[in-house]
């Protein structure tokens, strides 16, 4: 009896959750479907859901019209470069804060977090001006630097919370066995730290990929990322839903896939360890 009730409850839960999940996912699904339609089918009334002439022509048109590959490459370089640079700077810092904490460690961590709270628009003109003066406007180098700096607090924090979880006893045991500092770092700590570092890289790559304030305001034709590539579709021109959909699908597909692997890190990375 109790079993059948819980079975029924499970069925209701499943139906409800799946309907809501599909509803939330629907705009993405609709965009992906529309990208395979002809422009005519894209605005057909009544809307065509699955039964239309599937075509790949929009993808070809989008690539031809705005050189998708270049924007993609810019996104990869800028998101990847800023993340790796951030990791290089943050690993030693997080490392020393986690393993050689001092009285000021907490203050430094909190201060770093506070720099993340600085609203970008508040410093828009200074950065814009500095970019012009330094010849960084519309360059990938400039964007790598800015995105590295805005994500650095998150990178340091995530690494710090991961490193904190490495038990100090292991270090002491290694020292007892006569391991030098080099052995300690290379053979004991690094293997334990790699999963944390990988998760941090993943989440920050996603954040940098989707960043839209600085990429829109500091780039143009040369260093434009996929966020800027999509923005070029903001002025409607005749029938363009299918092309917009194809461009959108190409811009979000890589990160959607990576994103699904990063659910856990998302919580840790964006709540600064306040929710576990």
Q: Which of residues 82-141 bind other proteins (CB under 8 A)?
A: 89-90, 92-93, 95-97, 99-100, 102, 106, 108-115, 117-130
Give the nearer residue to other proteins in terms of CB position, either 27 or 178: 27
| Binder among 8, 20, 173, 222 for other proteins (CB under 8 A) | 20
| Binder among 176, 178, 238, 260 for other proteins (CB under 8 A) | 260
Residues 6+ apart with CB under 8 A from 215: 78, 143, 224, 225, 227, 228
Give the nearer residue to other proteins in terms of CB position, either 140 or 224: 224
Give the nearer residue to other proteins in terms of CB position, either 114 or 190: 114
Scanning residues 154 to 183, which ones bind other proteins (CB under 8 A)? 156
Give the nearer residue to other proteins in terms of CB position, either 10 or 187: 10
Let me know: does 205 contact 187? Beta carbons within 8 Å: no
Binding flag, residue 236, other proteins (CB under 8 A): yes
CB of 121 to other proteins, least distance (A): 5
Binding flag, residue 267, other proteins (CB under 8 A): yes
CB of 261 to other proteins, least distance (A): 10
Give the nearer residue to other proteins in terms of CB position, either 71 or 140: 71
- The 3-state DSSP class for residue 208 equals helix
Contacts 24+ apart (CB under 8 A), 29-34: 31/245, 31/248, 31/249, 32/245, 32/249, 33/245, 34/241, 34/242, 34/245
Reference 242, options 49, 15, 56; nearest CA is 56
C-alpha 216/C-alpha 228 separation (Å) is 6
C-alpha 209/C-alpha 212 separation (Å) is 9
C-alpha 108/C-alpha 114 separation (Å) is 10
Binding flag, residue 230, other proteins (CB under 8 A): yes
What's the CA angle centered on 13, arms 7 and 18, to 5 degrees? 130
CB of 53 to other proteins, least distance (A): 18
Binding flag, residue 272, other proteins (CB under 8 A): yes
CB of 267 to other proteins, least distance (A): 5
Let me know: does 171 contact 184? Beta carbons within 8 Å: yes
Binding flag, residue 206, other proteins (CB under 8 A): yes
Q: How many residues bind other proteins (CB under 8 A)?
A: 96
Longest dimension (CA), the chain: 76
Give the nearer residue to other proteins in terms of CB position, either 140 or 208: 208
């Amino acid at each position: 009896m109790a079993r059948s009730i819980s079975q029924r409850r499970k069925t209701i839960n499943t139906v409800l959750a799946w309907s809501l999940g599909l509803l939330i996912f629907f705009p993405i699904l609709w965009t992906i479907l529309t990208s395979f339609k002809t422009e005519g089918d894209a605005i057909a009334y009544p809307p065509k859901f699955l039964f239309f002439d599937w075509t790949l022509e929009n993808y070809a048109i989008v690539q031809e019209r705005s050189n998708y590959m270049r924007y993609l490459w810019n996104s990869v370089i800028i998101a990847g470069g800023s993340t790796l640079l951030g990791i290089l700077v943050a690993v030693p810092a997080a490392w020393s804060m986690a393993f050689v904490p001092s009285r000021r460690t907490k203050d430094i961590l909190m201060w770093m977090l506070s720099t993340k709270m600085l609203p970008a628009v508040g410093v828009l003109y200074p950065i814009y001006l500095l970019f012009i003066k330094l010849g960084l406007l519309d360059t990938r180098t400039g964007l790598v630097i800015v995105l590295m700096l805005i994500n650095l607090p998150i990178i340091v924090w995530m690494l710090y919370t991961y490193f904190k979880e490495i038990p100090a006893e292991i270090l002491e045991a290694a020292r007892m066995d006569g391991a030098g500092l080099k052995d300690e770092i290379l053979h004991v700590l690094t293997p334990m730290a790699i999963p944390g570092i990988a998760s941090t890289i993943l989440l920050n790559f996603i954040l940098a990929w989707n960043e839209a304030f600085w990429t829109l305001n500091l780039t143009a034709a040369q260093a434009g990322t996929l966020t800027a590539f999509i923005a070029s579709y903001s002025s409607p021109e005749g029938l363009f839903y299918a092309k917009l959909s194809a461009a959108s699908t190409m811009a979000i597909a890589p990160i959607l896939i990576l994103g699904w692997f990063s659910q856990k890190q998302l919580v840790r990375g964006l709540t600064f360890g306040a929710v576990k």
